Amino acid sequence: MVRIAFIISGLSTGGAETMLLKLLEKLDRSKFEPTVISLTNEGEIGKKIVRLGIPVESLGIDSVFSILKGIIKLFVLLKKLKPDLVHTWMYHADLLGGALARLARTGPVIWGIRNSGSVLNRIKPETRFVVNTCAKFSSLIPNKILCCSERSRLEHGKLGYDLDKMVTIPNGFDLSRFFPDMAKRKAKREELGINSLNPVIGLMARYDSQKNHPGFIKMAEMILAKFPGVQFLMAGTGVDSQNVELKKTVDATGFPTSFHLLGHRTDIPELMNSLDVLVSSSFGEGFPNVLGEAMACGVPCVVTDVGDSAEIVGDTGRVAQSGDMFNLANGVLDLLRMPKEDFIALGAGARRRVESFFEITQIVQKYENFYLSVMMKNLGQ
């Protein structure tokens, strides 16, 4: 039995946190004994992990004044757990968790990178400092560095991370949860007051500068000039009518009733099924979960070429350069103008692509094999 300590920056709802949950749901518990440690709080994802019967420890680091106390708690916890393997997720956890794991003399340390690394100018200065510090210590602290996308691996190599230690395993998707369902499509559209004949374009992303909500709205204006009946569904933390900045941008289009600001949602499979096209307008991504979720539901995607977005979509959608909302709009218009049978075939191809490359059981098997290979290599040293 391999005891693994997963150390993550936080457990609120997000792509990295959700992938950790999916991994833990499928991890072979006859071979691996996981414990999850959050540097901040338990969050929504933490509660779900606890329901799996997996211990979750929250350190409560929420300001500079609680860092020292959190560091001491983490060191004591690692000494108590004596994990055979430590897998940290996200920059702050990589630096703090990795360093303390070494001091506590645990088993091998794996860093986890969940960001593309190509948009350091758009992240907080303190996070940028952590990234640069991690780069300096990447040859000393981790045994391996696990990236969620190939673009992420290459970009972090440019930042100074030790490329020789870096490995890529993509995110995975539960095809029993995300699948085409006409009943869900009909019910969700009725709930939202959207006519069954209106095309629906979606953006599923928390309100964050990297996700480029203003760009999505600008793209929407271009589409509405050609197809006035199109509806735009936007969901994610902070994406609601209480967001004054976002609401002002939507109202300025002159088509406020064409936008649905849904905020944080838990009915993602239903929302994905209500869409005709999913858009990712982001400036930066690692491996966006929403693309795999939409594609698994038979929904084609139009994306900016950030992270591994283009590689995920393949020939089942359309790709524009980061920041190019004109061509992003043209990509959506291209799909909306397709003959119905061709559009349906494109969605079916998207589903098959997820089945072939990103099915969750296959991905978890890759994680398990990776963990065992790191353990074996460490024993052989």
The pLDDT-based confidence of 119 (bands split at 50, 70, 90) is low
Look at residue 204 in the predicted model and tell me its pLDDT. 97
Q: CA-CA distance, 322 to 328, in Å (whole number)? A: 9
Residues 28 and 163 in one domain: yes
Instruction: Tell me the CA distances in angstroms from 23 to 49, 136, 375, one per residue in order.
Output: 10, 29, 18
Asked whether residue 224 is domain-assigned, the answer is: yes
Residue 189 DSSP symbol:
H
What is the mean predicted confidence (pLDDT) over 208-223? 96
Max CA pair span of the chain: 66
What are the φ and ψ backbone dihedral angles of 277, each rounded to 5 degrees? -140, 140
Residue 350 and residue 322 share a domain: yes
Q: Are residues 97 and 121 in the same domain?
A: yes
- The radius of gyration computed from the CA coordinates of the chain, to the nearest angstrom, equals 21
* C-alpha pair distances (Å), 330 with each of 41, 225, 322, 337: 42, 12, 14, 10
Would you say residue 177 lies in a domain?
Answer: no
Domain membership of residue 142 (yes or no) is yes
Residue 81's pLDDT band (boundaries 50, 70, 90)? very high
Give tens-digit pLDDT for 130-165. 999 999 999 999 999 999 999 889 999 999 999 999
Cα gap 135→148, rounded to integer Å:
17
Give the pLDDT score at 377. Answer: 84
As a whole number, the mean pLDDT across the chain is 94
Residue 272's pLDDT is 98
**Can you give the CATH number for the domain in which 337 is found?**
3.40.50.2000
- Cα gap 224→231, rounded to integer Å: 9
Averaged pLDDT for residues 290-305? 97
In this prediction, residue 135 carries a pLDDT of 95
- Adjacent-strand bridge partners of 74: none
What's the whole-model pTM score?
0.89
pLDDT at residue 14, as a whole number: 84
Per the structure, how many domains does the chain have? 2
Q: Are residue 121 and residue 246 in the same domain, yes or no? A: no
The domain in which residue 344 lies consists of 182-357
Are 139 and 104 part of one and the same domain? yes
pLDDT at 54 exceeding the cut of 80: yes
